[in-house]
Structure 1
Amino acid sequence: MPAGFFRVCLVVVAAIVNHPLLFPRENTTLQESDKEIIQKLKKHEENLRIEQLRLEQEIARRDAEANMNLEGKGKEDKLPWDFWSTISMVIFLLIEIWRQDFQDGHLQEPNNEEDDMSLWGNIFQAVSLPNKTALSTFYERFIRSTTNDAVRTREFVEGFADDLLEALRSVCNRDTDMEVDDSVGVGSMYENWRVNKPLVCDLLVPFAPPEPYHFRSEIWDSVKSSPEDKQGYGKVKVCRPDEEATGCICDKTKLGEDMLCLLHSKSSETKLNSEMEVLLCSKNTQYLDTDQVMKWFQIAITKAWNKISHKYEFDVTFSHLDAPGALKIRFRSGKFITLNLTPVVQYDDSDVYFISHFPNSGLLNDFSSSTYWLLSFTVYERRFLKEMAKKLPENSCHLSCLQILAFLHGKQSTLTGQSGLTNYHLKTVLLHLLLARPAPNWSFEKLDARLREMLKYLEKSLHEKKLYHFMIGNRSIPESVRLPESFLVAEPLNLFRQFVLHRSIYKKTMDNFYEMLKNASVLINEYTLHVPADHTDVTTKP
């Protein structure tokens, strides 16, 4: 028995003494001989397993002999043979676990993404952002002067859009075509933080089907079959007159053969079935198709412009064919104005809209199916900013921070191309911080502190690949915004969820973000020194 115990101790001591991680070769560092150490570890591991098997067999043989010799003696004088086997197994197991932990922590090949995260963190520590004086000077000399024409540009665009939509209504067939409402101004131009040229106006154009048809909204929360990655999306179903009562008495009462409903005639229903559904719905479905709607809207806009073009002394063209109403107004002087007219469907009786296409959505495009429409909360976001402006100090810096950040992001995108980061993400960061920070913290004197805080919040969100939508699942939104209850109690929506799947886009986004930080001081100083104090936006003046 003592011999068996001695053999166990001998093997353990030999394993420890010969373990390459505990007693490495002289003048050899771990980093310089990783491959050699790994090979030796495998070899020692195999030798230890062989020795363990041999040792177990030897202990078993010796214990069997001892049991024969000590038969009849008290049980307290002997230990079962498997006791020493168990001890040896536990010792070897502990050594193996320790070795694996050490190897995993120090010898495994580093993951590229983890390396990048470490590198990005080091870059951030070395970045020097502009100081308060530089930021204030840059804002006064460049951003404030750039946005001087914003009000006049909005007024011109709104007048032209009203005229264009009125012409659109006149060229459409009222019995078989869509009914178009007045446009709704949204986005940075109407929230007073647009800074990058050209000053683009975004206008939503709600439309509805002709009677007796109607739209039925289906958001992700109410459709059990909706995919998980479609949170924040919905479908728009075109309901026929016979699917759901419209409120007219002809739906509830059988009319005689010699009686007709003046609103819902059979002939008009036949036309609608053959024309409208084929025109706007996805094939073999009753759901609105975003691509079909885009084609219909572009054709309608073209017809409307042809009708009123003789009244104007400028040309109108489509600036992007993959967007419904991305228009460019070019004057004879060479100056131009751009605007986006986007067809949308109102969600119930709220100010939430199903939007067919989002302009400037970056590299991440979630529109994998043309029957899914993204929900737009821009009207509520604009309302929230107005409500917060009443509580913030006079001449607060919240929009100034967003303008500077949007400027830096726009210039970086021009230098290195688009990434997965958009201005909407930047605005979402601001909205979250407006709720999180007391109103006095947003005085203009704290411009540099709030800008740094926005950058830190954005960096943290990018590292975690998690930035929650401000309007969905956020119960802290003030009641004065009047957001529907169904969205307040919904599950939070992560705007960065696509970064988990698109690693190449995520890496490009992180590279662009830290490149933007490194270039921030240079860009701000360059534009501050070379832009005259009376600088105006020459590209958007009619």
Structure 2
Amino acid sequence: MDVITFLYMVLQSLIHYLQPVDDVLDEETRWRMELRAKDLERKRIQLVLEMEQLTLRQSRESWGDMLWFALQPRQVWAVAGLLVLLLGLYFSWRKRNDEAEISSEEDEEDHVLGNDLRWLLEHIQWPVQDLQKGCEWTTDLMDNYMIYFGHVLSNSFYPVLQRAIGVGSAFEGWSPREQDVVYRVLIPMTPPRGHSFHLELDSAGERHVRNFRVRVQLECTCLREQQEENMLCFLHHPEEELRSNQDPSLLDTLCTDSYLDVHKTARWFYQLVRAVWPALPQSHSWHLKLLPSRRSCQIKVTNGTESFRIEVLFGVRRGYSDVFVSSQPGEACTLSTTWPETYSVAEVKFFKYITRQAPPDSLQLRCLQLFSCVQLGFGFSTYTVKTIIMHLLNTIPVSQWRRRYFLRRLEDINVNLRCCLEEKCLNHFIIGNKRLPQEISLPLDIASAEPLNLFHHLAQCPAAHSQAMREYQDLQHRLARVLLNGH
């Protein structure tokens, strides 16, 4: 028997093996299969004996005869064709087998989920508002504002306002507030002509807080006077001439002791918003209401059927990175010259990166929405839940956040929260993280820093840790009720 005959018989056996069969076989079919198996086993033994004999004969033949046989075109192409056919059949079988396993896994998962939990997946306290629509509406409004701000402030010495950046949960694709969604934007500010900004770390001795002050410094503009006739140098012209011929510097308007003042900046921005609103196209069909705030500008716009709540923060970018110092509220009694460091822009970029990579039926935002709503009333902040899920998204492939893995991901979130509480350690997602996507740019001191522990207070206070563990147990009961009852 030659090689062609051997390969033909192996192929015949494979074809018979790959034929699908029903899960339940009758007695006649099982009897025929047993006969066929015995027949194949007999032929296999015969093939082994023939191959052994063939090997002995070939070992006695010259190497030249073997080479001549192998190099015959007909033999080479026949063997190659059969090998390609065998490989094709093998991969086809693997594909059908994988598809069958996936289908079986999906059926099993659907059975485990049950009707109540499937209903929950479709009705997880998702915000009433269309978040995408709200984000687009807010972006359009701020773009229109920026156009008019550019004209109004073109010859002034107030901060130069850049295009607003959507930050916070709504622009990440979820919201912890079901009814009252807040659309938060950050407006980067750059220094006006004749000024420069210098960021000074205001909490060098505190490991867990990073606050800055924005020092405003006057710059010489004598060389620019030849090009800009209306520009006088704040450093080298007499004060009387400056007061008579030029608007006051930023130091004289929005600063306190040479540092940019958050409260003064917010009041100035409120005045701009109120003054420019009548010129915007949105003013024809929407009503603007200004809400009180000392460190931001909060507005509410309504048209009788819809309403949007918008919070405007102000920030100064750290170099060319995605990290800013901003006017966001910090700890209690935060000074008006204190600008906390914020990583909200980098976090939004991370969620957008995940969304681009994830399949259409991914549920990472649903998991975040569910856990954020369930933990309301306990001592765990929304940012704690968000940080845990960001770490998981950076570790577990996005393909495993699909619908059929919903319960597994919820269990992962739950287990991670428990482990972090037991170890009294939850690392900040941005600071010191070496595994961020390349498109997220960080300052060198943030990228190379030691991870910041968000649970440092639990390590310092045993009573706080005990209370957190008790609240975790209560959280488990509430989560179990939600999953079992579907609400």
Indicate whether the TM-score tops 0.5.
yes
Which secondary structure state, in structure 2, belongs to the residue aligned with residue 486 of structure 1? helix
Q: Is the 8 A contact 1:185 1:203 kept in 2?
A: yes
Q: Deviations over 1:98-124 (max 9, x none)?
A: xxxxxxxxxxxxxxxxxxxxxxxxxxx
Contact 1:297 1:343 in 2 (8 A): no
Compared with structure 1, are the counterparts of its residues 317 and 525 closer, same or farther at alpha carbon in structure 2 (3 Å cutoff)? farther
Q: In 2, are the aligned partners of 1:186 and 1:202 still within 8 Å (CA)? A: yes
Quote the Cα distance in structure 2 between the aligned partners of 1:168 and 1:527: 49
Deviation at 1:508, TM superposition (A): 7.1
Amino acid at match of 2:145: L
8 A contact 1:165–1:304 mirrored in 2: no
SS of corresponding position for 1:215: strand
Distance of 2:188 and 2:361 partners within structure 1: 34
Task: Summarize the alignment of residues 186-265 of structure 1 with structure 2, pairs less than 5 Å apart.
Answer: 186-194=167-175, 196-219=178-201, 226-229=204-207, 231-242=209-220, 250=223, 262=229, 264-265=231-232
- Equivalent of 2:339 in 373, 378, 381: 373
* 1:402, distance to aligned residue in structure 2 (A): 0.8
The AA in structure 1 aligned to 2:144 is: D
Q: Which of 479, 489, 510 matches 2:448?
A: 489
Q: Which residue in the other structure is 1:473 paired with?
A: 432
Query: Which whole-Å deviations, capped at 9, do the CAs of 1:257-310 have from their partners, x for residues lacking one?
Result: xx786474136974689552243223xx22222233222222332333355499
Cα separation, 2, equivalents of 1:319 and 1:508: 36
Matches of 2:138 and 2:356 in 1, distance apart? 28
CA distance in 2, matches of 1:170, 1:478: 37
Aligned length: 367
Letter in 1 for 2:122: E
* 1:355-504 → structure 2 map (5 Å cutoff): 355-358=326-329, 365=331, 368-409=334-375, 412-413=376-377, 419=379, 421-498=380-457
**Structure 1 residues 36-185: aligned runs within 5 Å:** 132-133=113-114, 134-143=116-125, 146=127, 149-172=130-153, 174-185=155-166
SS at match of 2:180: coil
Residue number among 303, 315, 324 corresponding to 1:344 in the alignment: 315
SS, match of residue 372 in structure 2 = helix
Distance in 2 (CA, whole Å) between partners of 1:147 and 1:435 is: 29
TM-score where L is the length of structure 1: 0.59
8 Å Cα contact 1:235/1:371 also seen in 2: yes
CA distance in 2, matches of 1:441, 1:508: 33
In structure 1, how many angstroms separate the alpha carbons of the residues matched to 2:282 and 2:400?
Answer: 53
Q: Given that residues 186 and 313 in structure 2 are in contact (C-alpha distance below 8 angstroms), is that contact kept between their aligned partners in structure 1?
A: yes
How far is 1:347 from its partner?
1.5
Kept after mapping to 2: 8 A contact 1:469/1:495: yes
Give the match's secondary structure for 1:429. helix
Task: Give the Cα separation in 1 of the matches to 2:249 and 2:398.
Answer: 55
Which residue of structure 1 lines up, in the alignment, with residue 285 of structure 2? Answer: 313
Distance 1:447 1:260 in 2: 64
2:478 alignment counterpart: 519
Deviation, structure 1 residue 428: 1.1
Residue identity in the other structure for 1:250: L
SS of equivalent to 1:239: strand
Gaps of 5+ in 2: 1-111
Q: Which one is further off, 501-510 or 347-356?
A: 501-510
Deviations 1:322-374 (A, max 9, x none): 441121113334x421111111112112222211114xx7xxx2663333322
Matched, 1:279 2:253: yes
Shift of 1:211: 0.3
What TM-score results when the alignment is normalised by the length of structure 2? 0.65
**SS of 1:481's equivalent?**
coil
- C-alpha separation in 2, matches of 1:400 and 1:152: 18
Taking the aligned partners of 2:269 and 2:483, their CA distance within structure 1 comes to 41
Q: CA RMSD in A?
A: 3.6
CA contact under 8 A between 1:401 and 1:451: conserved in structure 2? yes
User: Within 1, Cα distance between the matches of 2:281 and 2:349?
Assistant: 35
Q: Deviations over 1:402-433 (max 9, x none)?
A: 11112223xx34xx7xx5x3322221111111
Residue 164 of structure 1 and its aligned partner are, at CA, apart by: 3.0
Pick 1 or 2: higher relative contact order, CA cutoff 8 A, min separation 6: 1
Query: Cα distance 1:321–1:234, how it changes in 2: closer, same or farther (>3 A)?
Result: closer
Q: Percent identity?
A: 22
Deviations 1:10-65 (A, max 9, x none): xxxxxxxxxxxxxxxxxxxxxxxxxxxxxxxxxxxxxxxxxxxxxxxxxxxxxxxx
Unaligned runs of 5+ in 1: 1-130, 243-247, 529-542
Deviation at 1:229, TM superposition (A): 4.6
**Alpha-carbon distance in structure 2 between the residues aligned to 1:353 and 1:395:** 33
C-alpha displacement of 1:447: 1.0
- The CA deviation at 1:377 is 2.0
SS in 1 for 2:253: helix
Aligned residue for 1:436, secondary structure, equals coil
Output the amino acid matched with 1:277.
L
SS at match of 1:437: coil
Q: What SS class does the counterpart of residue 235 from structure 1 fall into?
A: strand
Q: Secondary structure at the match of 2:394?
A: helix
- Name the counterpart of 2:300: 328
The question of whether the paired residues in 2 share the 8 Å contact of 1:328 and 1:336 is answered with yes
Question: Structure 1's 501 and 170: CA in aligned 2 closer, same or farther, altered over 3 A?
Answer: farther
Distance 1:191 1:312 in 2: 30
Between 367-376 and 341-350, report the one with greater CA deviation: 367-376
Separation in structure 2 between the aligned mates of residue 303 and residue 491 of structure 1, nearest angstrom: 46
Alignment deviations for residues 196-220 of structure 1 (CA, whole Å, 9 cap, x no partner): 2223211111122310112122347
